[in-house]
Amino acid sequence: MSRAAEPTRSPAPGPSDPAPARLPLHGLRVLDLATLFAGPLCATMLGDFGAEVIKVEHPTRPDPSRGHGPAKNGVGLWWKVLGRNKRNITLDLSTRGGRETLVRLAATADVIVENFRPGTLEKWSLGWDELSEANPRLVLTRVTGFGQFGPYSHRPGFGTLAEAMSGFAAATGEPEGPPTLPPFGLADSIAALATSYAVMTALAARATTGRGQVVDMAIIEPILAVLGPQTLWYDQLGYIQPRTGNRSLNNAPRNIYRTADGSWLAVSTSAQSVAERVMHLVGRPEFVDEPWFASGSGRAEHADVLDDAVGRWIARQTRDDAVAAFEKAEAAIAPVYDIRDVVNDPQYQALGTITEVPDPELGPLRMQNVLFRLSETPGAIRWTGRPHGADTQEVLAELGLTADEITELRTQGAL
């Protein structure tokens, strides 16, 4: 299976061009009203597979993600990824003209993704009652920190809070160190994946019922869902997972080890056969005969001695020699990469994980490709993130607004 042809091999269509019919979500229209990461990234994922995504931003307060992280020539680079495959318009939803225009857009859409605090759309008379009346088939996707109800629902919510409240930070870090937060939007990204799944589930239900519905996604929940059986452990045993650094409570050896040439290697022995092969490789086959070695939990209880054996062996090897020896022994090992290694790795190159996309502002840009490969209907990056409001005139004209109506909306400050 292969990804869609990279834009450098075949020219990408412009933002006004419809998604090719071969893309699996061709014909799906998504209004992206959300800001920052979880909601917009969900819309990006849908756009990568052919959905027509219309990004709706405030006329004077654009999505803050445009200014997050490093920029080149004054252009935020994160936005080039997050905004890809989206057409960009401006609407002030707090104005009468903005509200009326959004209702007209909603009548043409399949999905709306929003992340306002609960009650905000209702305050503007743009809640589920109004939107579903305009379009009974609409899927209204509401992404917030804490969900649409409950004692925290009106609090501002960000991924960092979810990483803290889910138990992720408490279980991450060295045993004697503080809880550790990730240096990137982990909870937001997990929530975006979960929201994409929720949207497609709601659309599948619509195919049967003929009606849309509300998706309520709380960012605090998906990251908790991927933390494994911690809830069940606590419920049944009162067990709370401690911080273990790079070690695992479930198996050993599992850690990060330094090589003779100063690199770091990650070793995993989740499978019993792999653990046995590692011990033979590092010259300590006698451990395999120990009764405690027969289970992952038993090996984890002897992590010190196993780490010492593996660590001493790896410390005498170069990175390449250690990886080659593990590969020959059919044992699991991987270098600890930074992004420089990622873009040059032959496996990532074979998968097409990093692709080059032309950009009218900055020239060729390398970024991560669409998320997965489909054999018959692969996704595609058709263009990168567009300037604020770049497609307002065109999209509203397609909606049927006259030039005079668009001018009036501008006069009102709705655009």
Catalytic residues, which ones?
188
Q: In whole angstroms, what is the distance from residue 233 CA to residue 236 CA?
A: 5
User: Which residue from 205, 202, 214 is spatially nearest to 144, judged by alpha carbons?
Assistant: 214
174 contacts 243 by C-beta, under 8 angstroms: yes
User: Which residue from 313, 341, 390, 363 is spatially nearest to 88, judged by alpha carbons?
Assistant: 390
Q: In whole angstroms, what is the distance from residue 143 CA to residue 147 CA?
A: 7
Q: In whole angstroms, what is the distance from residue 45 CA to residue 231 CA?
A: 30
**Neighbouring residues of 141: CB distance < 8 A, sequence distance ≥ 6:** 39, 42, 111, 112, 113, 114, 195, 198, 199, 202, 214, 215, 217
Helix H or strand E encompassing 39 = helix 38-48
Is 253 exposed, middle or buried, given 0-12, 13-18 or 19+ CB atoms closer than 10 A?
A: buried
Q: In whole angstroms, what is the distance from residue 268 CA to residue 201 CA?
A: 35
Phi, psi of 256 (to 5 degrees): -110, 130
Q: In whole angstroms, what is the distance from residue 345 CA to residue 228 CA?
A: 30
- Collapsing DSSP to helix, strand or coil, 111 comes out as strand
101 contacts 402 by C-beta, under 8 angstroms: no
For residue 340 the two structure tokens come to 């420089």
Phi, psi of 253 (to 5 degrees): -75, 140
For residue 248 the two structure tokens come to 């695992």
